[in-house]
């Protein structure tokens, strides 16, 4: 089953609680944390995540685009995040960090920027609950989907299936009605969508439509039948 995670990066930050409630029915709410160092943009931090976790029943999927996640990621679990994603390029000790996130009670995930290959991380996959393949350069919403990431999604899915892991494979960046099927066909099962959801007239309906598209594709995808 596909999971759709609307990204509040494309929501109205002055009405975050309402915007979160507008997509109830989504699997997770994707929260982009940017520190203006790891990426050239600044969004929100621990206090906002804490408030947001009280404002919605949808679990929070925090995508940390920050330096030194080894220091900060555990605080996002304490703030109420159900899943915390750190970047492979930023973590000093990814295994220790993934174990700490899990020990604190959240799902541990690792993200790869477009130029970061999956292969060096094969042995680390059992330490993770989700792997995020970025399909745009992290930093901004509303960018065009990078088709050249499809082979990496495919290779990552092959590694997950080869090792028989229950790891989720998330894609983030430019995911919309016109790109979600290519991602699902390549092996993704968790889909972040910012502008495609919050730019729609009815965000909750946009979530349902994306989920239907992804579910239909996954149902006939060879990678899902083999699994
Ligand atoms: O991590 C991100 C950007 O770094 C966002 O989650 C992503 O860009 C979502 O926005 P959109 O669906 O509009 O591309
Ligand atoms: Fe994100």
| Integer Cα distance of 34 and 1 in angstroms | 29
Q: What CATH number does residue 100 fall under?
A: 3.20.20.70
Q: Output the average pLDDT for the chain.
A: 97
Q: Residue 1 above 70 pLDDT?
A: yes
The verdict on the CB of residue 6 being under 6 Å from ligand 1 is: no
Could you identify the residue written with the tokens 């082979």? 151
Q: Is the CB of 174 under 6 A from ligand 1?
A: yes
- Domain extent at residue 136: 3-226
What pLDDT was estimated at residue 58? Answer: 98
pLDDT tens track for 132-152: 999 999 999 999 999 999 999
- The tally of domains found in the chain comes to 1
Q: What is the pLDDT of residues 52-64, one digit of tens each?
A: 999 999 999 999 9
Q: How many CB atoms lie within 10 A of CB 42?
A: 11
- Give burial (CB, 10 Å; 0-12/13-18/19+) of 226: exposed
Residue 226 has a pLDDT of 57
pLDDT higher than 90, residue 225? no
Percent of the chain residues past pLDDT 90, beyond the cut = 98
Q: What is the dihedral of CA 74, 52, 142, 199, to 10 degrees?
A: 160
List helix spans (H) across 86-221.
94-103, 150-162, 180-186, 195-198, 203-219
The rounded Å distance from CA 63 to ligand 2 centre is 5
Q: Examine the pLDDT at 227 and tell me if it is beyond 60.
A: no
* Ligand of minimum distance to the alpha carbon of 85: 2
């Amino acid at each position: 089953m596909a999971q759709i995670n609307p990204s509040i990066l494309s929501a109205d930050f002055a009405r975050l609680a309402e915007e979160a409630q507008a997509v109830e029915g989504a699997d997770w709410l994707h929260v982009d944390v940017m520190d203006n160092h790891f990426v050239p943009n600044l969004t929100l931090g621990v206090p906002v995540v804490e408030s947001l976790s009280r404002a919605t029943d949808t679990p929070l999927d925090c995508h940390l685009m920050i330096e030194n996640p080894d220091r900060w990621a555990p605080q996002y679990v304490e703030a109420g995040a159900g899943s915390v994603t750190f970047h492979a390029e930023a973590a000093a000790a990814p295994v220790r960090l993934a174990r700490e996130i899990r020990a604190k009670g959240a799902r541990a995930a690792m993200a790869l920027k477009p130029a970061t290959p999956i292969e060096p991380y094969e042995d680390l996959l059992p330490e993770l609950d989700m792997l995020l393949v970025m399909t745009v350069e992290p930093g901004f919403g509303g960018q065009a989907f990078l088709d050249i990431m499809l082979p990496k999604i495919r290779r990552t899915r092959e590694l997950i299936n080869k090792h028989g892991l229950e790891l989720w494979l998330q894609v983030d960046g430019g995911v919309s009605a016109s790109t979600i099927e290519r991602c699902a066909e390549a092996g993704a099962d968790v889909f972040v969508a910012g502008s495609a959801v919050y730019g729609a007239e009815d965000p909750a309906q946009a979530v349902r439509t994306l989920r239907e598209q992804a579910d239909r594709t996954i149902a006939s995808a060879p990678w899902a039948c083999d699994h």
